[in-house]
Amino acid sequence: MLLLVLIMDIAPGYRPPTLTVDLVMFRIERGVLEVLLLKRAAEPFRGEWALPGGYNAAGETTVEALGRVVWDKVGLDLRSDVGFFEQLCTVDTVARDPRGHAVSVVYLGCGFGLDLPGGSQSHRFWPVDALPELAFDHAEIIAYARQRLVSKMSYSNAVSGLVDSTFTLSQVQAAYEAVWGRELDKRNFRKKFLSLGLIEETGGFWATGAHRPAKLYRFRSSELEILPSPF
Amino acid sequence: MLLLVLIMDIAPGYRPPTLTVDLVMFRIERGVLEVLLLKRAAEPFRGEWALPGGYNAAGETTVEALGRVVWDKVGLDLRSDVGFFEQLCTVDTVARDPRGHAVSVVYLGCGFGLDLPGGSQSHRFWPVDALPELAFDHAEIIAYARQRLVSKMSYSNAVSGLVDSTFTLSQVQAAYEAVWGRELDKRNFRKKFLSLGLIEETGGFWATGAHRPAKLYRFRSSELEILPSPF
């Protein structure tokens, strides 16, 4: 209460928008890029699908609020289930929430092999290219998130969030193909991707049935790495 | 007031953080990367330098709030004075403002030939490598903004905000050198930069004194362009 009085004192009549957080969580399943959605149980947009998200109160950071919200609503643990995670953008158009002006800080995450407890009618992954009707401006947010992921995979190691901790070159190529939505030339991809210096051999092999065992790789860094400039 | 009641009805006891906006505005002056700072006239941090920024009230977007604030405080017109402009990040640590939890949406801008009316003791550009004592977490924000600009210039046409609408290759190289803080090999830079396909000849020439006239170029797109992937 004292805090509120102090703020009012500095900016008389100031009233902030509501602050919310939302998560765009991607995974690849059977070669298809999917995004986590939640069926809304309450108005507005009751019964429609939406990104998992919720209110951010004074006194908690956006990541704290998001961690709380996605754990409560879909059983996702941001501390362990996410391979690539970053702030995507803050969306702020005044009419985006019929309840009043709500500014949302949106995060982008990628997970490998994610399966959620109780995923069912109330929350599940949907193929990004076959989404249901979406609440709020969430269709735009997902389109922007995908575009960011497409771009980021062309100049960084962001693909690391979509593959296992060790992987074959075919698996990393399949992740690129799922996100970019087009096939890549195998020989050219291998040569160029290896030349970026992002990954190293583990010494192990991936053996499946009749195929020749394939070399296993891992990323050199678990942090986001931006490729060096061309000049 | 009705709006507030509606929100309270949906999330009883919910109190949002204060929302603010801040601008990291870069320019290059005599080969040096500079950032726009404002001397704070009021507590907290009275007399210290800070990014231009202010409150974002319910009912205005972050860009609207920022446009209002920077016009009022430093006479900068976001609609005409900025060559490259994008949302940088949202900062949200609880203790960053001693008045209470303030979440700030930060924008990054670059301008060419920017000169501000009345720039003086109260607001001026400072060399990024020789900043004064800074209020709040603004030193960290500026470091992050510079890092983003460094990265972005390696995979996009973001340098366009730091040069005139037509320019020589030497001028664009100088902009890279100012941001990256190192000299680039002239022949290699020209070859690689031209090969990116971001710019085209205007047909005109830049003539200075005894030197051979240099070809003038312009960017093909005024929108942000991400370079194609290497594979």
Tens digit of pLDDT for each residue in B178-210? 999 999 999 999 999 999 899 999 999 998 777
Q: Does the pLDDT at position B119 exceed 60?
A: yes
User: Cβ separation of B4 and A16 shorter than 8 Å?
Assistant: no
B187, closest residue in chain A (CA to CA)? A231
In whole numbers, what is the pLDDT of chain B averaged over residues?
91
CB B83 within 8 Å of CB B219: no
> How far is the C-alpha of A6 from the C-alpha of A3, rounded, in Å?
5
| Token pair for B148 | 């983003």
**Contact (Cβ atoms closer than 8 angstroms) between residue B142 and residue B134:** yes
Question: What's the pLDDT score for residue A11?
Answer: 67
CA–CA gap between residue B134 and residue B51 (Å, rounded): 9
Q: What is the pLDDT of residue B145?
A: 98
CB-based contact, B187 to chain A, within 8 Å? no
CA distances from B191 to B97, B169, B194 (A): 48, 10, 5
Task: Flag whether residue A57 sits within 8 Å of chain B, measured between CB atoms.
Answer: yes
Closest in A7, A89, A101 to B100, CB measured: A7
How much is the pLDDT for B227?
84
Name which of B129, B136, B124, B74 is nearest B100 in CA terms: B136
B229 touches chain A (CB under 8 A): yes
B195 chain-A contacts, CB cut-off 8 A: 230
For chain A, the structural domain boundaries read: 18-154, 157-219
Rounded to two decimals, the ipTM of the complex is: 0.91
Q: What is the CATH number of domain A157-219?
A: 1.10.10.10
Task: Give the three-class secondary structure for B185.
Answer: coil
A189 contacts on B by Cβ (under 8 Å)? 231
Collect all residues of chain A within an 8 Å Cβ-Cβ radius of residue B19.
16-17, 19, 103
In order along its 231 residues, chain A shows pLDDT tens digits of: 444 444 444 567 899 999 999 999 999 999 999 999 999 999 999 999 999 999 999 999 999 999 999 999 999 999 988 989 999 999 999 999 999 999 999 999 999 988 887 767 789 999 999 999 999 999 999 999 999 999 999 889 999 999 999 999 999 999 999 999 999 999 999 999 999 899 999 999 998 777 789 999 999 998 888 887 777
Provide CB contacts within 8 A for B95, sequence distance 6+.
none
**Other C-beta atoms lying within 10 Å of the C-beta of residue B130:** 8
Can you identify the CATH homologous superfamily of domain B18-154?
Answer: Nucleoside Triphosphate Pyrophosphohydrolase (3.90.79.10)
**Would you call B229 and A10 a contact, using CB atoms and an 8 Å cutoff?**
no
Please give the pLDDT value at position A23.
98
CB contact under 8 A, A57 and B4: no
Q: B17 vs chain A: nearest CA distance in angstroms?
A: 4
Give Cβ neighbours of residue B119 (< 8 Å, ≥ 6 apart). B74, B125
Region of A151 please: left (phi>0), alpha (psi -120 to 50) or beta.
alpha
The pLDDT score that the predictor gives to residue B221 is 92
Helix axes B138-155, A138-155, angle to 10 degrees: 70
Distances (CA, A) of A141 to A69, B107, B197: 18, 19, 30
Q: Tell me the shortest Cα–Cα distance from B22 to chain A, in angstroms.
A: 13
Nearest to B90 among A105, A176, A184 (CB): A105
Do A15 and B57 lie within an 8 Å CB cutoff? yes
Check whether B26 has a pLDDT greater than 90. Answer: yes
